[in-house]
Structure 1
């Protein structure tokens, strides 16, 4: 039988092997066996590390608190890591302040400090710490690539709120983590095409590496789900709605266990659905805002989910709930302009009054005079309320406090439009000229082509043909293929130099002849009026459509025989039919013993019962043959009449 020392030696060898093989369950059992043999200190240290590797952070903290409370062994870093993984932020930062006093430049402490800042959305502080750390790490060290990936992740988070520089060089053979974080940064900066390329490369690198490591397909799918979700988001931002929706549905069908991925997918599907199927959107947002998902999402992601939930409440006409949610968000993000715009939208939808919503926006604009989003929302509501002069005053008041923004292309275009619609064409022209002079004199800024075209067109419209000609000449010189600028130049030359107009007209692209163009129909079309409003010319005889009669199958009796035709006289009264035969009645005779005068019973003259002398009977003239009259119908009582009527109802 082996001695105690031999058993301990054997157990430590097995522990070393199981630790190298990442068989942490076996390592935990071996640690317990060593503790039973009296090897408390070293075995307990191994057990703490094993519990951390098994993600049992609470158990590790409890073990440290029980066994190493008064020990000289320093478990500060292990405790700091456990606090970080269990989201005990206050305890983590308190312990970090203590640890930094003795380990200020320790790489592990710096790495964990940066991770703590990142988890709290303090991206600039995280970048500062990573900047110190990257200077200490050897580029050949495997951790160097991980630090680079984390720097890109911190920059992508910071880019959600402010511009970020792209001064971080890529390594020669980037890992899939590095490619993914680079894609996230490009997405935040609006470079969607390049971001998609990096995401596709990250998916390929991830699949290849994990297969080489012998990872199961299920675990590979879990890792790919993060990159696939980001890829679907890139498609969605680009406007490829169907492709994005299909990609999201594939992720849902794969049934990944990453709660953060499921929350992001649910939220993005809700934004794709818009105002359709609101109850399904409510179910999805319930998933996205669940407690376990909320613990995994970044701060800006939580804000987006809650804003979408508030929007959903507004679309479902739950105005009180929406206002409560918006107010709760305003308590956390008082400088977020979108929330004030959303609050005004709810007010307008609830009251159907522009003035109330405009008053709310102007009240916020007074507290935050630099908010361009609030100013534009106010102008939009004033224009919807047909208050163009008030909209112009709102814009001018904003530009008085922000003069550096008056030369932005969008603001210049809006000012010109408002001046034109309020009947101030001279002021509109003045704004265009001032902006053009500013852009031409500035070395950093160049006038947008659209604004230059707008200026030239406005001059042409107001009769300033010479100035319009000069502007269009500059545009054509800058881009000879610009057909719109060329057409404007020809129109300007037509007023000042017709010969040049004819010369330049040859450079216009040919007009493609229309194969089937109804000129008469085009002339009758009134712009901006529905087609049904246009009256048709009276010279055209429009044939009236004869309403088609619906053919209906004849109603026949049950025992109808087609071979036996019905009687054509069936509609006539019985007495008027050709086959009518009256009933034989008793003939009316004289009284018994009465004979005709002039003869006996047989009219032979042989018997003279009365004894009267015979008289000569004159011959009667021949009677005319008269048409036999049809007998009149016999009288019938009321019952017979009703019966006859009932019988007459059956045409057969």
Structure 2
């Protein structure tokens, strides 16, 4: 073993460090002499990595026992370059705190590629806290990329920067990352400015050749087409898309997005069948250049939509059904829920009205009662048809089923921030603030406790909304809970204004003396709050003046100007008490509850009616008490009988 190692070292000393082919030959020669030589296998793997033969290098690591532990950095790099970034993260983390700075960079890159953007952002922050002169520029660029990806995945509260700074607009790479973050936040106008700045800086970069400039400008232009399309500037988007040389884009993932965006921006390609053909003619990226999951979900959604427009509803229903059935319900996976929405669209294809679509979609709940995407689709259709009660009942029933299941994963879905926000919005629409506050409080209580299935930090927006709702109840227990919520947010980020304001508001009610002095420094001064107020004008308008022992009693208060009384609120009448012929907006008859003969406008018809009315009218002739009209009628009838009986006989 020692002879082989010494021989290999001698060979390596005779070759140039840049001549990786010669190093590989020497390593292979050493391995032929001793297949158990770990050092020779290590040299071979490194030479293969330098030659960009990542698959061959990975094979060396997997076939040589002990080499993975000896060369953990190179093994993680080979995994990363062959598309297995998640495994690379495991290897890098297993190295422990003793891992060097190179392994820290490897961990950050692999975490970014495996979509663990929170970990990548944290590693880059740690690297920035221990700066190295040659790395400062790269760390700033990579940190900006991680922040923009956090925004895309709904974890914007973990991003280090929320707005583009002047420093970001000094280099085209950081300007591009700032534009991506702005797009994720929906700030499209700001993104358009950042992209133009990135283009100008790239054009002016003297250290780049013309070929390098063109390669860097292509992704910026592709992003510009997307932003212009979203802003509704279709003419500009279409004109810009025609200038993109798709074949020159080396990254197939970017080329694929560029071609899809050009279809969306084109006015000429209005034929859905032609769009379908062009969409599927785009080259699919390889395993090492895959889209991120949020991009893949959107592209898959585009494919389903184009298929629906091309009258391929049956195919969409079948393919989405496979996606849904492959994942246990309920699921919060965006791809699964997107498939559920488009599956419902396929079943309701060519149906014009929302009510008719509901008749086709609601029966699907019998097969998939816990399908989150399907439930939200039906709730949305209920909202469109102004049936908020049905939408609320649908979500409440779904939540009840999840609570009764007792499963940890089901409870995570039950208290998912997006679903909580949907139900709270429905409560607000129906004027039920108490139910909304109760729902927010339950969600906050759930996420404040650690769970085995909990992999991410609780949503900051949810916790702030819950804390604010608890403060509004003015109940001691709720205010105490709100204080704990804002305290946890403050511990995570002591510069968070929402956390500071909520914490001060809660402490000021519970125990004002316990408010830390550093929190009070955040509060604005009273003079600053009242600097725009005119005290004289307020007093003239009727604000009571301050009391004084020397002032005369009549001068202690200003008279309050008379105000218009608020209009009386119209009393709401229940539908059951409405008359059948009621017309909205028409004034109802105030005498509608009286019998017809007692109404002021009653006019009897015919001679008998008028005569009867005379007896009921005040001041009219009064019939004899002993002889009422009914009695007179009876007497006359009896007299008639007597005449008939007397005829032909004795009386």
Query: Following superposition of structure 1 onto structure 2, how do residues 332-343 of structure 1 map, counting pairs within 5 Å?
Result: 334-335=331-332, 336=334, 337-343=337-343
SS of 1:55's equivalent in the other structure is coil
1:158 to 136, 150, 171: 150
Q: Which residue of 2 aligns with 1:299?
A: 293
Q: Which residue of 2 aligns with 1:378?
A: 382
Q: Which residue of 1 aligns with 2:321?
A: 327
| Partner Cα separation in structure 2 for residue 409 and residue 279 of structure 1 | 39
1:134 to 109, 118, 128: 128
Would the aligned equivalents of 1:375 and 1:398 in 2 still touch at CA under 8 Å? yes
Q: Which residue of 1 aligns with 2:75?
A: 79
Q: Which residue of 2 aligns with 1:612?
A: none
| Partner Cα separation in structure 1 for residue 291 and residue 420 of structure 2 | 39
Query: Following superposition of structure 1 onto structure 2, how do residues 458-469 of structure 1 map, counting pairs within 5 Å?
Result: none
1:356 pairs with 2:356? no
2:178 to 179, 182, 191: 182
1:218 pairs with 2:211? yes
Query: Following superposition of structure 1 onto structure 2, how do residues 463-502 of structure 1 map, counting pairs within 5 Å?
Result: none
Greater C-alpha Rg? 1
What does the per-residue CA deviation read over 1:570-593, in whole Å, with 9 as the maximum and x for residues that have no partner? xxxxxxxxxxxxxxxxxxxxxxxx
Would the aligned equivalents of 1:340 and 1:361 in 2 still touch at CA under 8 Å? no
| Partner Cα separation in structure 2 for residue 281 and residue 308 of structure 1 | 11
Alpha carbon RMSD of aligned pairs, Å? 4.7
- Residues 365 and 151 (structure 1), Cα distance of their counterparts in 2 relative to 1, 3 Å cut: farther
What does the per-residue CA deviation read over 1:48-84, in whole Å, with 9 as the maximum and x for residues that have no partner? 4453233221233345567x75679932211110111
- Residues 55 and 208 (structure 1), Cα distance of their counterparts in 2 relative to 1, 3 Å cut: farther
1:202 to 195, 198, 212: 198
| Partner Cα separation in structure 2 for residue 191 and residue 367 of structure 1 | 32
What does the per-residue CA deviation read over 1:220-242, in whole Å, with 9 as the maximum and x for residues that have no partner? 32222111111211111111112
Q: TM-score, normalised by structure 1?
A: 0.50
- Residues 277 and 378 (structure 1), Cα distance of their counterparts in 2 relative to 1, 3 Å cut: same
Query: Following superposition of structure 1 onto structure 2, how do residues 330-479 of structure 1 map, counting pairs within 5 Å?
Result: 330=324, 331=326, 334-335=331-332, 336=334, 337-349=337-349, 353-359=356-362, 368=372, 374-380=378-384, 383=385, 391-395=387-391, 397=393, 412=429
1:53 pairs with 2:57? no
Residue 185 of structure 1, CA deviation? 0.7
2:140 to 137, 140, 148: 148
- Residues 254 and 310 (structure 1), Cα distance of their counterparts in 2 relative to 1, 3 Å cut: closer
| Partner Cα separation in structure 2 for residue 255 and residue 93 of structure 1 | 32
1:283 pairs with 2:287? no
| Partner Cα separation in structure 1 for residue 420 and residue 28 of structure 2 | 78
Residue 343 of structure 1, CA deviation? 2.2
Q: Which residue of 2 aligns with 1:540?
A: none
Query: Following superposition of structure 1 onto structure 2, how do residues 550-569 of structure 1 map, counting pairs within 5 Å?
Result: none
SS of 2:152's equivalent in the other structure is coil
| Partner Cα separation in structure 2 for residue 70 and residue 163 of structure 1 | 39
| Partner Cα separation in structure 2 for residue 232 and residue 348 of structure 1 | 32
Tell me whether 331-340 or 181-190 shows the greater mean CA deviation: 331-340
What does the per-residue CA deviation read over 1:460-494, in whole Å, with 9 as the maximum and x for residues that have no partner? xxxxxxxxxxxxxxxxxxxxxxxxxxxxxxxxx9x
| Partner Cα separation in structure 1 for residue 148 and residue 259 of structure 2 | 22
SS of 2:244's equivalent in the other structure is helix
| Partner Cα separation in structure 2 for residue 88 and residue 369 of structure 1 | 30
| Partner Cα separation in structure 2 for residue 14 and residue 206 of structure 1 | 39
- Residues 373 and 109 (structure 1), Cα distance of their counterparts in 2 relative to 1, 3 Å cut: farther
- Residues 85 and 171 (structure 1), Cα distance of their counterparts in 2 relative to 1, 3 Å cut: farther
What does the per-residue CA deviation read over 1:106-151, in whole Å, with 9 as the maximum and x for residues that have no partner? 322222222222222222233333343333x31x523233223223
| Partner Cα separation in structure 2 for residue 245 and residue 269 of structure 1 | 7
1:309 pairs with 2:303? yes
Residue 154 of structure 1, CA deviation? 2.3
- Residues 144 and 290 (structure 1), Cα distance of their counterparts in 2 relative to 1, 3 Å cut: same
Q: How many residues align?
A: 393
| Partner Cα separation in structure 2 for residue 342 and residue 9 of structure 1 | 65
1:248 pairs with 2:245? no
Residue 319 of structure 1, CA deviation? 1.6
| Partner Cα separation in structure 2 for residue 156 and residue 239 of structure 1 | 23
- Residues 201 and 47 (structure 1), Cα distance of their counterparts in 2 relative to 1, 3 Å cut: farther
- Residues 313 and 34 (structure 1), Cα distance of their counterparts in 2 relative to 1, 3 Å cut: closer
What does the per-residue CA deviation read over 1:128-177, in whole Å, with 9 as the maximum and x for residues that have no partner? 33343333x31x52323322322322232232242514643858474332
Q: TM-score, normalised by structure 2?
A: 0.50
Would the aligned equivalents of 1:235 and 1:241 in 2 still touch at CA under 8 Å? yes
Would the aligned equivalents of 2:153 and 2:294 in 1 still touch at CA under 8 Å? no
Would the aligned equivalents of 1:310 and 1:325 in 2 still touch at CA under 8 Å? no
Q: Which residue of 2 aligns with 1:579?
A: none
SS of 1:15's equivalent in the other structure is coil
Would the aligned equivalents of 1:123 and 1:158 in 2 still touch at CA under 8 Å? yes
| Partner Cα separation in structure 2 for residue 57 and residue 399 of structure 1 | 50
Would the aligned equivalents of 1:267 and 1:285 in 2 still touch at CA under 8 Å? yes
| Partner Cα separation in structure 2 for residue 65 and residue 322 of structure 1 | 41
